[in-house]
Structure 1
Amino acid sequence: MTNQTVNVYGISVRVDSEGRYNLNDLHAAAVVNGEATESQRPNKFIRSAAVKRFVSALDSRGQKCRLEENQSLNIVNGGVSQGVWAAELLAIRYAAWIKPEFEIQVYETFREAVLSGISSMNRLNRLDLLIATETKEVSACARAMNKWGVGGRKKLLSCARERIVSQIDPDMVALMEGDTTQ
């Protein structure tokens, strides 16, 4: 279920395959940094009527599907991936509920992770373009070499040269060869 992490105050916050952040990990990061108390756990946050309306609005916004993987909030009881998993907007709202300074830190961390991903994609795209361009150039060179090589243009030109040499008076050939050695 978990594909990646982001670091908030040195604490790894897990991100699931649907892009939801683990609010329990965010809470741990806030507690470690002295910005949250034990009473600000995610289970208390998600019980709020305002948060329930927010989640409902997120889920209905352009989403007709009620599949679990398409929901902005996913609660996993037990197992390796247990905890409260929330879409980015909901995770930022949770951070704001804890403390405004923590919200800023979380927002900046998430933004940096996205920008880092975009930067990596740009580098990857440039590298793919370079590989494709050089592949075309190498292929063109290989085709030219293939035309030149064994049985190709080189052999044709060599045969033509031999025919011309055979048609020349042997004394002229000796004179020409003598000129090239001087």
Structure 2
Amino acid sequence: MTYPTVIVSGVSVRVDSEGRYCLNDLHAAAVLNGEATESQKPSKFIRSASVQRFVKALDARGQKRPLEHNQSLKVIRGGDSQSVWGVEMIAVRYAAWIKPEFEIDVYNTFIESRTKALDILNQLNRLDHLIGGETKDISQCASKMGKWGKGGRKALLNEARKNLIDQLDPDMVALMEGKAA
């Protein structure tokens, strides 16, 4: 499944294959926008007992399956790719922890991304319907043309014409061919 990419304050927030958003990207957007400080990093946010209870409740309610790679919160420690990843609800909760106004921005961004995705799906469905209808029309035309062409109805009609001409007096045929020229 492909999850929508969101852009908050000009920063593209990465999303992993499990639908978790990079909270470090959200933090960078908040800092860039002047709504967060360096002390409000995701690593500090996830240490909060209330956040840990929230994550546990999300996982227990079936937001994600109980496998480690499918948890609602993923923490990568050490190395160049050190980061905190959370599902949309955690991302919005993190934004609220930073600042209420930032939460509103993040929440609206997620809504807009879903609305845009639904709009694109709607357009895609309409286009698929149009393509299906035109394909059916063309198929019917092709079928009719196939029945008309070589060995089809055209051949039958020409054979019937030839039979009628063969029944005519030869002088009438010559007269008719002279008019056709």
Give the alignment's TM-score, normalised by structure 2.
0.91
Whole-angstrom distance in 1 between the partners of 2:139 and 2:80:
50
Relative to structure 1, is the Cα distance of residues 92 and 82 closer, same or farther in structure 2, using a 3 angstrom cutoff? same
Q: What is the aligned partner in structure 2 of residue 146 from structure 1?
A: 146
Tell me, in whole angstroms, the C-alpha distance in 1 between the residues paired with 2:15 and 2:81. Answer: 10
Contact kept, 8 Å, 1:96 with 1:102, in 2: the verdict is: yes
**Distance (whole Å) between structure 1 residues aligned to residue 50 and residue 77 of structure 2:** 23
Q: Distance in 2 between matches of 1:110 and 1:16?
A: 15
Hey, what's the Cα distance between the residues in 2 that align with 1:4 and 1:63?
18
| Farther off after superposition, 78-87 or 146-155 | 78-87
Q: What value does the CA root-mean-square deviation take over the aligned residues?
A: 2.1
Query: 1:85 maps to what in 2?
Result: 85
What SS is found at the alignment partner of 2:5? strand
Note the C-alpha offset of 1:60: 0.8
From the superposition, tell whether residues 80 and 144 of structure 1 become closer, same or farther in structure 2 (CA, over 3 Å). farther
**One-letter code aligned to 1:37:** T
Percentage of identical aligned residues: 66
Residues 158 and 47 of structure 1: CA distance in aligned 2, closer, same or farther (over 3 Å): same
Alignment of 1:18-167 (within 5 A): 18-62=18-62, 65-78=65-78, 81-167=81-167
The number of residue pairs the alignment matches comes to 180
Q: Encode CA deviations 1:30-87: one digit per residue, 9 max, x unaligned.
A: 0111100111110111111110110011111136831123211011224665310001
Residue 172 (structure 1) shift: 2.9
Q: Which runs of 5+ in 2 are unaligned?
A: none
Determine the C-alpha separation between the residues in 1 that align with 2:57 and 2:158.
Answer: 80
Shift of 1:97: 0.5
User: Do the aligned partners of residues 117 and 42 (structure 1) sit closer, same or farther apart at CA in structure 2, a change above 3 Å counting?
Assistant: same
CA distance in 2, matches of 1:80, 1:138: 56
For 1:91 and 1:10, how far apart are their aligned partners in 2? 17
Q: Which runs of 5+ in 1 are unaligned?
A: none
Of 80-89 and 104-113, more deviation after overlay is shown by 80-89
Partner-residue secondary structure (3-state), 1:65: coil
Relative distance call for 1:79 and 1:161 in structure 2 (3 A) is: farther
Measured after TM superposition, the shift of residue 5 of structure 1 is: 3.1
SS in 1 for 2:13: strand
